[in-house]
Amino acid sequence: MTIEKIQEMLKTLLYYDNCEIVHKIRGEHHTFSLSYAKESHTFQLENIETKQIENYKDLESISLALLQIIESGATKINTDP
Q: For the chain, give every domain's residue range.
A: 3-72
Task: List, run by run, the mean pLDDT of 10-residue segments along the chain (81 residues).
Answer: 87 73 69 84 88 93 90 55 42
Q: What is the pLDDT of residue 32?
A: 86
- pTM of structure: 0.72
Query: CATH second-level architecture of 3-72?
Result: 2-Layer Sandwich (3.30)
Q: What is the pLDDT of residue 55?
A: 95
Q: What is the pLDDT of residue 51?
A: 92
Q: What is the pLDDT of residue 1?
A: 75
Q: What is the pLDDT of residue 74?
A: 47
Q: What's the 3-state SS for the chain?
A: CCHHHHHHHHHHHHHCCCCCCCEEEECCCCEEEEEEECCCCEEEEEECCCCCEEEECCHHHHHHHHHHHHHHCCCCCCCCC
